[in-house]
Amino acid sequence: MNRIGVDHYLAEGCGRCPLGGTPDCKVHAWQPELRALRQIVLGCGLTEEVKWGVPCYTFQGSNILIVSAFKEYASLSFFKGALLADPQGILAKPGEHSQAARIVRITRVQDLAELEPVLRAYIFEAIEVERMGLQVDFKAKHELALPEELQQRLDADPVLKAAFGALTPGRQRGYVLYFSAPKQSKTRTARIEACVQRILDGKGMQDR
């Protein structure tokens, strides 16, 4: 266990922003909640480490969950939370496009007295998911809903359509998210046109 590392996180924060080690660090705002979450998790027999600057808990070397602080809440995040049954309905997607991860948001340490048996059950289920070798099905991630402007552009240009289809699923997804973001059709179209050559060159959004 890396208790020294986690103790440092609780005392100084993750160190990923200039607020680390100052009273304004968000970790300081959620000390009781983070410490309570830590004790619940440790009581389930997971190995404690520090990864990405935050407490991470593993089973036989595999990541199960992390405990961390955000501006508005403390959290317990399951790496494969999408595979958990969640009968209490407490798991949420950390982001709109999250596939596997699920998060439990905690805003009052008092709530953990009631939630502890539920969280322990979820943690043991997450351990069993890992023990069984279950994997999140990312099929939906590759079945992208293309914005209308992109679909029309691809249908009008077979070469571009072939080039887009040859991109890796991750690159395709990056473009689709980027093209879909604007509310106005003309802005979506402008973004598509600006990226045509990159697509033809087989490059993703982040490729140089």
Percent pLDDT > 70 in the chain is 93
Q: Where does the pLDDT of residue 1 fall: very low under 50, low under 70, confident under 90, or very high at 90 and above?
A: very low
Mean pLDDT of 187-208: 91
174-182: which pairs have CB atoms within 8 A and are 24 or more residues apart? 174/204, 174/205, 174/206, 175/150, 175/199, 175/204, 175/205, 176/144, 176/145, 176/146, 176/147, 176/150, 177/97, 178/205, 179/147, 179/149, 179/150, 180/147
Rg (CA), the chain: 21
pLDDT at 171: 87
Report the candidate in 29, 27, 55 with the shortest Cα–Cα distance to residue 42.
55
pLDDT at 64: 96
pLDDT at 83: 93
